[in-house]
Amino acid sequence: DTAVSQTPKYLVTQMGNDKSIKCEQNLGHDTMYWYKQDSKKFLKIMFSYNNKELIINETVPNRFSPKSPDKAHLNLHINSLELGDSAVYFCASSRGTSSYEQYFGPGTRLTVT
Amino acid sequence: GENVEQHPSTLSVQEGDSAVIKCTYSDSASNYFPWYKQELGKGPQLIIDIRSNVGEKKDQRIAVTLNKTAKHFSLHITETQPEDSAVYFCAATPYGNNRLAFGKGNQVVVIP
């Protein structure tokens, strides 16, 4: 009965590898997001999709590529991982672009060694 | 873009006392102000929000107040309990914009 789910919860990998994080929501929402939370707990938006269309793309390195196969899923693929990519990544969703209540998933802790 | 400042960064209170966290924002066009609670190892959870057409909103032991003139809003937690210990984030966004700008978070510690 989880609303927004992410897999995996923990991801440990070496520099230079490529990895993906998956997100799914069963709330029937049209808009999904990826946020990055750094070691100081600062939350910053990375991307947002509405009905599979990219609507927010912050100044994120192009090694990060989101993909939305349908409006219930938003995956994040990261190429050539760097030490600085270590963080907790949160997926979130909201009813639409004009509805503001955003619901967050449990997070994926990515550690790059 | 919107810039949200959150104070204090850490707050310790005795169980049963009240806790108040204050946030200021920069964009006068902002009209939606949510508060999130993040427990250790979990994602942020929306606990209360307020829109600019109201000045105060209450839900059991938590309340949010908004002062649009001064561009600040506050979270009030009364009768604090140990389970209120968490990091609290405020955020703001202008009308029609779903790009939430978050404050840096406030660690609240309730001492039993």
Minimal CA separation from A19 to chain B, in Å: 21
Q: How confident is the model at residue B94 (pLDDT cuts 50, 70, 90)?
A: confident
Ramachandran region, residue A98 (left: φ > 0; alpha: ψ -120 to 50; beta: rest): alpha
Quick: pLDDT tens for A40-58. Answer: 889 999 999 988 888 888 8
The DSSP letter of residue B100 is P
Residue whose pair of structure tokens reads 């963080």 in the numeric block: A87
Q: Does residue A1 have a pLDDT over 70?
A: no
Give per-residue pLDDT as tens, A59-96: 789 999 999 999 999 999 999 999 999 999 999 999 87
Task: Give the mean model confidence (pLDDT) for residues B93-109.
Answer: 87
pLDDT digits (tens, 9 = 90+) for B25-81: 999 989 999 999 999 999 999 999 998 888 999 999 999 999 999 999 999 999 999
Tokens of B99: 């790009």
Q: Which of A44, A97, A105 is nearest residue B43 as measured by Cβ atoms?
A: A105
- Our CA-based measurement puts residue A90 at a distance from the nearest CA of chain B, in whole angstroms, of 7
B1 touching A, CB under 8 A? no
